[in-house]
Structure 1
Amino acid sequence: MSVNLYHISRSAQPKSRLFTFRNIAVMSWDMLMQQNLAKYKLVM
């Protein structure tokens, strides 16, 4: 049982790491877009 859990956690780890990386990228992209929108509104 513990071996199965170990294998599951090991196989799930890279996916979750990739998922968190994608989340960080999306969050930083959203922040950039919000900053650009704020600058655009200031220009307008």
Structure 2
Amino acid sequence: MSSIIGVREGTVKSRLSRARKQLETILEGEGAGANRTRNEKRKASF
């Protein structure tokens, strides 16, 4: 049972992160500028 819950949590988290990335891309605009800012945010989060 716990393994099933863990898998569900993982899929939900991956979906949330993917949706957040899509939202950031839309908000920042398309093109190299959006990719650059997203990469900088990813580096800062680590």
Q: TM-score scaled to structure 2, two decimals? A: 0.62
Scaled by the length of structure 1, the TM-score of the pair is 0.65
Gaps of 5+ in 1: 1-13
* RMSD of aligned alpha carbons: 1.4
Greater fraction helix:
1
**Runs of 4 or more above 6 Å deviation:** none
Alignment: residue pair count: 30
* % identical equivalent positions: 7
| Higher RCO (C-alpha under 8 Å, 6+ residues apart) | 2
Where structure 2 has 5 or more consecutive residues not aligned to the other structure, the ranges are 31-46
